[in-house]
Structure 1
Amino acid sequence: MKAFGKILGLCFLGLLLILVALGFAVTHFFDPNDYRDEIRKLARDKAHVELTLNGDIGWSLFPWLGLELHDASIATLQNPRTPFADLQMLGLSVRVLPLLRREVQMSDVRVEGLNLTLTRDENGHGNWEDIGKALPREPAAGELQAPNVANAEQPPASAPDKADRPVKLDIDSLTVNNASVHFSDAKTGRELTAESIQLSTGAVHDGIDIPVKLTAFLGTNQPNLRARTELNGQLRMERALKRYQFSDMKLSGEASGDPLQGKTVTYSAQGNLNVDLAANVANWENLKLSFNQLRALGDLSARDLSTEPKVAGGLSIAQMNLRAFMDGLNQPLPAMADGSLSQFEMVARLEGTRNSLALNDLAVKLDGSSFAGNLAITDFAKQALRVQLRGDSFDADRYLKPKSAEASSAGAARDAEVKTTEATAIGGAGDTPLPNAPTQGAWSNDTLLPVERLRKLNLQGDLSFTKLVINQWPIDNATLKVQGQDGLITLENLAGGLYDGSFSTKGSLDARPEKPLVALQTQLTKVPVEHFIKGKNGSAAPLRGLMTLNSNLTGTGTSQKALIDSLNGTANFDLTDGVLVNANLEQQLCQGIATLNRKSLTGTPRGKDTPFQELKGSVVVRNGVASNPDLKVRIPGLTVNGDGDIDLRVLGMDYKVGVVIEGDKSDMPDPACQVNERFAGLEWPLRCRGPIELGAKACRIDRDGIGKVAAKVAGDRITEKLEEKFGDKVSPELKNTLKGLFKR
């Protein structure tokens, strides 16, 4: 037995030596370079590709089937002269015996200088679609092609056999050096490139973690961008289950290009990426994202990968300076107040498709203001924006464009004009001339409306704020509903509380014409008017009271000046509990009465202000000038009627005011200002002209009108004397004639 075993061992050893000798002989005396044409034909017939071998072929046979290809290229049979891939060197070795079990056991695989060129023609056909496709076979002479019968009976599907099982991979390592991929689309002109690709892995087996490191330079021409990127992580493959996991993934790099105009951005992403192709789902766990100053955390998942991919998850952006972030992308934001957009943070639940993105359960903090709600772009192609937000306190003035130097200069010129006019307008005695009407414009020529953006706007907005500041007006519990499409923006409602009163506005903005048309209908209810007519340098407003206003106005243009110059419409107003500040109209009237009585005032003014119980009227606006023919003011013992204009273009007024004295109601009237029955019911004339900020300081006694009043009073006194002396002896015709003499 021992001898038999020894003999058997010697035989086995002999066979092994023979195999080794045979392998040595084959690899040393058989040169595959002599069979290039046969190898190309084999590649053409079996793999359906055009293989070109310009370099040497090195190989070994046993126990490793080793192969080295140098300077090779591959093309499709449909376009054999245009290779889609070429390489400088491919080196690999495979164990021979495991191949019989459909197991690929390789040592190190090394690829040098791989260039992959992918193209899509103007018909949308890609050259990679022809890889492995045989040329259509032409029928031989006399051979008939089989008819294409759509309903022909198909053979039953055979049960999967061992050939359908995936090949088992077992590779010690994979190294790719200096590879590149180039994609071009003839129809769109778009190009994508990946250059200087360096890839290295550890052992490649199913079901184990494979260390992966990849570096590359990525680029695109629409827009012109280049990025350097590096990818590291642990890749696990379960090909039989079609599951793939990339754990501890770290992606980082930097990018530059035309949109950044010389600036460079840095980016990084981390997390665990899982893909299940059998279930058509994927998820990205423990996502950490950075992009310059932006820092974000979240979890994302995707479903329906092979049909219509849908993404969902949560995203949180840490506090950042949004203005600095946009500057870093060379996308500077418009000039605003200092500190605007310096504090921004966000938390949201994200949902998206190829053509939409929604941020639900959104929570945003911006410069001390907080917002909650939903924000969505329902159609990227149509730029359809849908906004539903609730905010606590928001100062919109901080985000308005500041006045230009031209507008500031114009405002300074008008302020100087008002100051000069105010210095010469001394109220009280009423002996100075009327102030001059203002001439300097009060409004800015700066573009107020971004017309081009508004014409493309597709918006539905529903906003509410606990407190909203617009044009320095604090609006409590503000609500805003707006929608816009194809250049027509409709303000369905803007309402809220204003200085303990309330207001509501609706209207439209039609940006389709060359000059946009604005239409507004506004209602104010008991809003303190002094907040809208402010004095200069912190001084008190010239008028106080609770204003109720209804207006319907239209204007055209893109600036404040253009809108005011073209303003047309109607309005009516009613001011209650009103007070003219620092203007004692009663004193001025007493001065006029004392003049008629030929006496001097001896008492001191009772107060600096003039209170009134009612102020109302209607307004018709034509091209920026508001005409008010029926001004009505009621003061205890006094009624004021007015007829005049307010030129909104320069904020100037020109009024004729008639004061009807109903009697002095004070306990101790000034003797020179006593109103007897002769003056009761008379309308005493005043004239008000100048900047609207002056209020009653711009009013003077109308001396021409006073002369007519005096003539009427004198005529009434003569009539009284005639009545006393002659009674009914004088005819009515004579009385009227005598009275007419004093009325001329």
Structure 2
Amino acid sequence: MLRILLYIIGIPLLLILLAAILLPLVLDEEQLLALAAERLEQSSGAQLTVHGDSRLSLLPRLALTLDEAELALPGKDQPDITVQRLAVEVRLLPLLSGTVAIKGIELAGLVATVPAQPAQPAVDTSTLSDAELDAFYEARRQAVRDAAANSAGAALGLPLALNVQRLNISDARIVLLQADGGEPRMIELVALTATDMNLAGEPAALNLQLRIPGANPVALSLDLRFSADLDQQRVQLQSLVADIEGATRQPLQLRASGPVDLERQVAELELALESGTMTGAGNLRYASFESPQIDTTLQLSELNPALLVLAGPEAATEAGDVEADGDAPLPLHALRLVDTRAALQVERAVFGLHSIEQLQLKLRVVEGIATLETIRGRLHGGELDASAVLNGQHNTARLETRGELTGADTALLLAALEAQPVLSGSASLDWQLTGSGRSRNELVQGLDGTVELTTGGLALEQVGIERLLCQTVAQINQEPLQTELPTRSEFESLTASITLGQGQALLAPLRAELAHLSLLGEGNFDLASAEFNARLEAQLSPDLASLDPACRVNERLTAIAWPVNCSGSPDTAPAGWCKVDSREIIRELASSELQRKAREEGGKLLQRLLQRDQPATEEDNP
């Protein structure tokens, strides 16, 4: 794109300079144009053909106007350029003294057709083996080193320090032919206006409207105020405002200012972003030949896919929309194209169904490894403090994460998951997990590690565990209940040690304390189906009768373990999740009774035996 613009601007200027050189020799327009074209071909190899009119004026400014002109550049891989109208105007007196003072350049109806370049298939890292991926990273590191070494003395520059008072390009198109003969790609330069262009460090301005048509058209509007110093190889952006539509889901406005070192290809910019409801501000450092290539600190109102543009155009293009299918391959190819370090402060970040408030995020992404050193914020009313590493260097990604979430509101969590509102209270988690896989579902199924769960003020709706046990006790006592017992369970405490592996979460031990009983047992949760089951043993408190007189218990009832079996899924009615195994209780009571009687009978027998074997006393033997 830059090379084509240099052709568009530089070649007309070369024509006007040749015309000025030949002006003292000939004043015939046609002969002058023919000589200028001949000199142009001799000096550059470019062939100029004018199919329309040509006009040359002398005073007070030297102006050359060409209609229906065609320029063929030397070499088969050079673009062909046609223009409906070209007008170049320079001041005559400065020109005669050897100074180029350009009043204006106007181009209308420009078409630049760029031949297809030799096929350079892009490397799709998702098709490489692990060994080939290692070679890919090394080759890219070497390419960056070579580019940095070759950049010295080869910085961007122009052959002439031009003073262009006005540059207007309208209705221009750049046609990029495809090597495979496919549909050409098109770039429409709707309008470009530049004023006071110079390379001496004086202020200049540029306005650009560009459009890329297609199935998802992209439009760019750019307003730039800058100064360029060719001697210092430095550009100072006083103000850059870019409005982009189509590249992201919401239109994006980017504002920037700061210095650009052309020789080192380093830009250090102050940024402001706006896309939809997202706003942000901070700074960004871009360095072509350094790592990280992009280093940014931003304060944002929310996270937004538009931020992918800050990870680089390749990564933004490759990432696209995140696949909703959990079995789809992880977007590791996009991750491998990023070399970024970022420190973000986000008022609100949404990840799927979960929202984190006041998020602090420090991350480093390079060669397929995303290291999230800091993840802090408020998640569902609780405090989150975690870290994670996603290693996507090879085809099977590996995840390592540890952290804690304290005081999360379970009602907010269920609302975010669009699940039934059956829980209230707070929950805290402390975890250390690893996992591996090639898709999101494989990562989840492959999670391995431990999670510690504690709760506070937890209440379970539609599942009255005390009610279930009280009803069973009343049946044993053969008495009817006199009160309506609660259909919810209020836990004084609930804790669980959770071990993850092979797609399952084993809760062992699982402990719970209620006002009139305690529970101890273990459970299992299937990560894929969200189905759970648990086998618990309840120990009844003597004051269970405070719920209802029919629930009174004695030592025999408090001495046994009361089996409580729970199973279900978030899609089933909570009222049917838990049941008391009354048959096992009856067997336990019968066994306890037999043992009691055996002990009583055994005690009586032992007493008689002891009495029989006891030696006679003098009183017994007169």
Provide TM-score, normalisation by structure 1: 0.60
The answer for the alignment partner of 2:222 in structure 1 is 296
Rg: which structure is higher?
A: 1
Q: What is the 5 A alignment of 1:342-381?
A: 343-354=251-262, 356=265, 358=267, 360-379=269-288
Q: Is the 8 A contact 1:357 1:378 kept in 2?
A: yes
Counterpart residue type for residue 191 of structure 1: Q
Q: In the TM superposition, what is the alpha-carbon distance from 1:629 to its structure 2 partner?
A: 1.8
Counterpart residue type for residue 488 of structure 1: I
Counterpart residue type for residue 225 of structure 2: D
The answer for the alignment partner of 1:594 in structure 2 is 474
The answer for the alignment partner of 1:499 in structure 2 is 380
Residue 526 of structure 1 aligns to a residue whose secondary structure is strand
Match of 2:92 among 186, 204, 207: 204
The answer for the alignment partner of 2:112 in structure 1 is 218
Q: In the TM superposition, what is the alpha-carbon distance from 1:658 to its structure 2 partner?
A: 0.7
Counterpart residue type for residue 270 of structure 2: D
Measured on the aligned residues, the alpha-carbon RMSD in Å equals: 4.0
Q: Whole-Å Cα distance in 2 between the matches of residues 680 and 609 of structure 1?
A: 22
Counterpart residue type for residue 617 of structure 1: A
Q: Whole-Å Cα distance in 1 between the matches of residues 395 and 259 of structure 2?
A: 38
Match of 1:678 among 553, 556, 567: 556
Q: Whole-Å Cα distance in 1 between the matches of residues 528 and 519 of structure 2?
A: 26
Q: Is the 8 A contact 1:521 1:551 kept in 2?
A: yes
Q: Whole-Å Cα distance in 1 between the matches of residues 438 and 254 of structure 2?
A: 33
Distance 1:90 1:622, change over 3 A: closer
Match of 2:344 among 457, 463, 466: 463
Distance 1:537 1:195, change over 3 A: closer
Q: In the TM superposition, what is the alpha-carbon distance from 1:483 to its structure 2 partner?
A: 0.4
Q: In the TM superposition, what is the alpha-carbon distance from 1:492 to its structure 2 partner?
A: 0.6
Residue 111 of structure 1 aligns to a residue whose secondary structure is helix
Residue 532 of structure 1 aligns to a residue whose secondary structure is helix
The answer for the alignment partner of 1:385 in structure 2 is 294
Q: Is the 8 A contact 2:536 2:565 kept in 1?
A: yes
Q: Whole-Å Cα distance in 2 between the matches of residues 451 and 181 of structure 1?
A: 43
Q: In the TM superposition, what is the alpha-carbon distance from 1:301 to its structure 2 partner?
A: 1.3
Q: Whole-Å Cα distance in 2 between the matches of residues 114 and 616 of structure 1?
A: 88
Corresponding position: 1:483 with 2:356: no
Counterpart residue type for residue 502 of structure 1: E
Q: Whole-Å Cα distance in 2 between the matches of residues 173 and 261 of structure 1?
A: 35
Counterpart residue type for residue 364 of structure 2: Q
Q: What is the 5 A alignment of 1:214-253?
A: 214=107, 217-221=111-115, 244-253=162-171
The answer for the alignment partner of 1:701 in structure 2 is 580
The answer for the alignment partner of 2:449 in structure 1 is 569
Distance 1:93 1:511, change over 3 A: closer
Counterpart residue type for residue 506 of structure 2: S
Match of 1:646 among 518, 525, 528: 525
Gaps of 5+ in 1: 1-84, 96-103, 120-125, 129-168, 225-241, 327-332, 334-339, 408-443, 733-744
Deviations 1:369-408, CA, capped at 9 Å, x for gaps: 110112333116978222211012446799994765xx5x
Match of 1:271 among 190, 194, 215: 194
Match of 1:191 among 67, 73, 78: 78
Residue 444 of structure 2 aligns to a residue whose secondary structure is helix
Match of 1:180 among 55, 67, 71: 71
The answer for the alignment partner of 2:172 in structure 1 is 254
Deviations 1:20-68, CA, capped at 9 Å, x for gaps: xxxxxxxxxxxxxxxxxxxxxxxxxxxxxxxxxxxxxxxxxxxxxxxxx
Gaps of 5+ in 2: 1-13, 47-58, 96-100, 119-159, 212-218, 309-319, 611-622
Q: Whole-Å Cα distance in 2 between the matches of residues 731 and 693 of structure 1?
A: 64
Q: Is the 8 A contact 2:337 2:368 kept in 1?
A: yes
Q: Is the 8 A contact 1:356 1:376 kept in 2?
A: no
Deviations 1:420-449, CA, capped at 9 Å, x for gaps: xxxxxxxxxxxxxxxxxxxxxxxx3234x3
Q: Whole-Å Cα distance in 2 between the matches of residues 91 and 374 of structure 1?
A: 48
Match of 1:287 among 197, 206, 209: 206
Q: Whole-Å Cα distance in 1 between the matches of residues 192 and 463 of structure 2?
A: 70
Corresponding position: 1:114 with 2:49: no
Counterpart residue type for residue 503 of structure 2: G
Provide TM-score, normalisation by structure 2: 0.71
Counterpart residue type for residue 253 of structure 1: D
Distance 1:721 1:289, change over 3 A: same
Q: Is the 8 A contact 1:475 1:497 kept in 2?
A: yes
The answer for the alignment partner of 1:330 in structure 2 is none
Counterpart residue type for residue 220 of structure 1: V
Deviates more, 1:194-203 or 1:395-404: 395-404
Q: Whole-Å Cα distance in 2 between the matches of residues 298 and 566 of structure 1?
A: 51
Residue 557 of structure 2 aligns to a residue whose secondary structure is coil
Percent identical pairs in the alignment equals 18
Corresponding position: 1:551 with 2:551: no
Corresponding position: 1:446 with 2:340: no
Q: In the TM superposition, what is the alpha-carbon distance from 1:730 to its structure 2 partner?
A: 6.3
Q: What is the 5 A alignment of 1:55-204?
A: 110-112=32-34, 114=37, 116=40, 174=64, 178=69, 180-184=71-75, 190-195=77-82, 198-201=86-89, 204=92
The answer for the alignment partner of 1:64 in structure 2 is none
Residue 556 of structure 2 aligns to a residue whose secondary structure is coil
Q: Whole-Å Cα distance in 2 between the matches of residues 730 and 603 of structure 1?
A: 49
Corresponding position: 1:631 with 2:480: no
Q: Is the 8 A contact 1:319 1:344 kept in 2?
A: yes
The answer for the alignment partner of 1:691 in structure 2 is 569
Q: Whole-Å Cα distance in 2 between the matches of residues 373 and 91 of structure 1?
A: 50
Q: Whole-Å Cα distance in 2 between the matches of residues 359 and 398 of structure 1?
A: 18
